[in-house]
Structure 1
Amino acid sequence: MRERHTTETAVERHGTDRARQPRPGKPAEARRAVERAVTERCRATRTPCDADALSDAVLVASELTTNAILHGGGLTDFRVDVDGPSVRLSVSDRSDALPVVREPTDPQGRRRAGGRGWPIVCRLARDVRVSDLPSGGKCITVVVPLV
């Protein structure tokens, strides 16, 4: 499997330690899955949840699932794993195309709608990896710090 890195650091694969979640049909379901996973882990470890860090992780999940639905031909897999002081999210879609940063204006100078999601993901995630899937499409895996 060919992997394309969008940052200099890559996420280590941990095989089966990531929990497969029911595939969300919409970004709101992805947000709830991340909230649930993080708050359950905080409760189980009796550690406080940082509300700002949780908000970052929820926003990243929302942006990744929205992009998969709108630009990636549909969401094909979704995983969330809280691993110590971070949350690992993996979102797969049907498209082989890499995410791109779009200019905020078109060639005529008019403001474009959208185009802010991928920069948000790259800014909030510590690690970002885009991998081709054997059956086509891609998987984007990110790690968002929770502290």
Structure 2
Amino acid sequence: MCGEYRAHANDTMPDPPESHSPGPRSPAEVREAVRQALDSARRSRGPGATTDATAVGDVLLVASELTTNAMLHGGGVTAFEVIPGEREVRLSVSDRSDDMPTPVRRAGGPGALQIGGHGWPIICLLARDIMISYLRAGGKRITAVVPLSPR
């Protein structure tokens, strides 16, 4: 697991609010929602406001990886939320699984080509903070805070 995240294993969070959609159907839908939220936040800051392109790429990558992991390992996405701030973006993805994320153990040593298992390490690298909370009705919510300034 990440060495720098906080897992709220004993806490239970309220379930995500009921939504008319079952959650995003693909990482592409999540990326589009993040782009729209970032564009809206930038416009609200006024003319001339910009966001670092590398930081936006990092946010989009974390959103994609959280969503992909929920779809592949968590029984599907049950809720998604993006909250842009002035200096960071908070991304939350809920899924049906109570299992905590774990990195994949690699066989073959350095340089061996391995497919899959890179998502969680990427999230851990790019997020400033990660919180994992169990939901009352089952499942978990992973929230990653990604800075909007270059690393």
Aligned residue in 1 for 2:44: 44
Runs of 4+ in 1 over 6 A off after TM superposition: none
CA spacing shift, 1:9–1:140, aligned 2, 3 Å: closer
* Structure-2 separation of matches of 1:98 and 1:85: 28
Structure 2 residue matching 1:88: 3-state secondary structure = strand
Asked whether the 8 Å contact 1:21–1:80 carries over to 2, the reply is no
1:119-134 → structure 2 map (5 Å cutoff) = 119-134=121-136
Matched to 1:141, the amino acid is: T
Aligned residue in 2 for 1:93: 95
Match of residue 142, structure 1, among 133, 144, 147 = 144
Structure 1 residue runs of 5 or longer lacking an equivalent are none
Provide the identity percentage.
49
CA spacing shift, 1:89–1:21, aligned 2, 3 Å: farther
Asked whether the 8 Å contact 1:105–1:111 carries over to 2, the reply is no
CA spacing shift, 1:84–1:26, aligned 2, 3 Å: same
* Structure-1 separation of matches of 2:107 and 2:41: 42
Q: How many residues align?
A: 133
User: Residues 28-61 of structure 1, C-alpha deviation per residue, up to 9 Å, x if partnerless?
Assistant: 0001111111121112203111110000000000
Structure 2 residue runs of 5 or longer lacking an equivalent are 8-13
Match of residue 7, structure 1, among 1, 4, 7 = 4
Kindly state the Cα deviation for residue 105 of structure 1 after the two structures are TM-superposed: 2.4
Match of residue 83, structure 1, among 79, 85, 88 = 85
Matched to 2:31, the amino acid is: R
TM-score (norm 1): 0.81
Q: CA RMSD in A?
A: 2.4
Asked whether the 8 Å contact 2:5–2:131 carries over to 1, the reply is no
Kindly state the Cα deviation for residue 103 of structure 1 after the two structures are TM-superposed: 2.0
TM-score (norm 2): 0.79
* Structure-1 separation of matches of 2:100 and 2:113: 23
